[in-house]
Amino acid sequence: MDLTNYIGTTLVTTVDCIKKYSVRHYSNAKNAFILQNTIGRPSAEELIKYVKGNMIPKCNLRRQDIICAEDIFSPNLGFLEVKMTRWPTEHVCKKSENTYGNN
């Protein structure tokens, strides 16, 4: 298979990003990522506000865990799905003159 003229895009998650964190930091970041998806995918800033304000009962995550999760797993863009919903638009009806000239 000759791929010399093939043009494409490859998305790669680097292992270097994960290597700079310890096993504990990675585990806490994974828990933060799971929590973020579970409670409706708030942005990282909103999740940090929830954690700092003790709005989530029995949550032992820290601000740093959320930042690590964003660094390791990339920003969670699922919250945009809710904020960017399309609302149906009203149909536009144009009143036109009799175009056939019958009347």
Question: Does 70 reside within a domain?
Answer: yes
Q: Are 76 and 37 in contact (CB under 8 A)?
A: yes
Which is it for the CA torsion 25, 11, 42, 46, positive or negative?
positive
Question: Does 58 reside within a domain?
Answer: yes
Domain housing 67: 15-79
Question: Does 61 reside within a domain?
Answer: yes
Both structure tokens of 74: 């990339």
pLDDT at 1: 47
Question: Does 4 reside within a domain?
Answer: no
Q: What are the per-10-residue average pLDDT scores of the chain (103 residues)?
A: 55 62 90 90 90 92 92 75 63 64 55
What would the pLDDT profile of 44-56 be if each residue is shown by its tens digit? Answer: 899 999 999 999 9
pLDDT at 61: 93
Question: Does 75 reside within a domain?
Answer: yes
Question: Does 45 reside within a domain?
Answer: yes
The tally of domains found in the chain comes to 1
Question: Does 86 reside within a domain?
Answer: no
Question: Helix, strand, or coil here: 48?
Answer: helix
Question: Does 41 reside within a domain?
Answer: yes
pLDDT at 81: 61
Rounded Cα distance, 60 and 47, in Å: 13
> Is the pTM higher than 0.85?
no
